[in-house]
Chain A
Amino acid sequence: ETGVTQSPTHLIKTRGQQVTLRCSSQSGHNTVSWYQQALGQGPQFIFQYYREEENGRGNFPPRFSGLQFPNYSSELNVNALELDDSALYLCASTIAGGVMAQYFGPGTRLLVL
């Protein structure tokens, strides 16, 4: 039990639609990262937020965007969904400057048809 929750657990969308995924971090964790895990692959870093500002981004296009809120919750938004966006989306939280281990939520499985 990591104290990190995500919603929804599963989601089906069609190509071209938009989706918002949500994450609630552990209290006090001021850094949240989002990862995409395709089938048979390891998680790939999408971006990270620290104190509500984007603080690093992986090789994902601008249609992937995020928000972090003062109450330790965050969102991942994906516009103009493509079939290849079908994956497990994981959020992970940590305390900047502390132990570097990130604590992952259970993920949201997104299927784009």
Chain B
Amino acid sequence: DQQVKQNSPSLSVQEGRISILNCDYTNSMFDYFLWYKKYPAEGPTFLISISSIKDKNEDGRFTVFLNKSAKHLSLHIVPSQPGDSAVYFCAASATSGTYKYIFGTGTRLKVLA
């Protein structure tokens, strides 16, 4: 039972354009969501997070949008840069209890120069 789904295994975008990565979840108890970026041979690096009390959080080129009614979140990267090429994971957590994250399967983003 995949509670967090990233349905696009890969995405290619031209440098300077917007990258949109999507994530869906099924568990209504999730109230905290995060995006991680992972390069080969490295651990996931925290990018940005959002609490369920918000519908948008922005940090520089990265913006996360949360649509609770649709159980959907997205990560927007504007403008995309070649260094953004990596695998992106969304993760979800229920703040009551442990800091257990449920991860999606990842989307590989390739930004073309």
Interface residue range, chain A:
20 to 34
Q: Which residues on the A side are within 8 Å of B89 (C-beta)?
A: 42-43
As a 0/1 sequence over residues 20 to 47 of chain A, the CB contacts with chain B under 8 angstroms (1 = contact) are: 0000000000010101000011111100
Known: A103-B46, A106-B43. A45 touches B101 (CB 8 A): yes
Contact B49 A101 (CB under 8 A): yes
CA distance A76 to B84 in the complex (A): 32
Interface residue range, chain B:
20 to 34
Contact A48 B104 (CB under 8 A): no
Q: Which residues on the A side are within 8 Å of B91 (C-beta)?
A: 42
Q: Which residue of B lies closest to A56 (CB)?
A: B98
Contact B43 A90 (CB under 8 A): yes
User: Pick the contact of A96 from B41, B99, B102, B104 — CB < 8 Å?
Assistant: B99
Known: A100-B95, A106-B42. A40 touches B49 (CB 8 A): no
Task: Give me the interface of B with A, judged by CB distance under 8 Å.
Answer: 4, 6, 32, 34, 36, 41-46, 49, 89, 91, 93, 95, 97-106
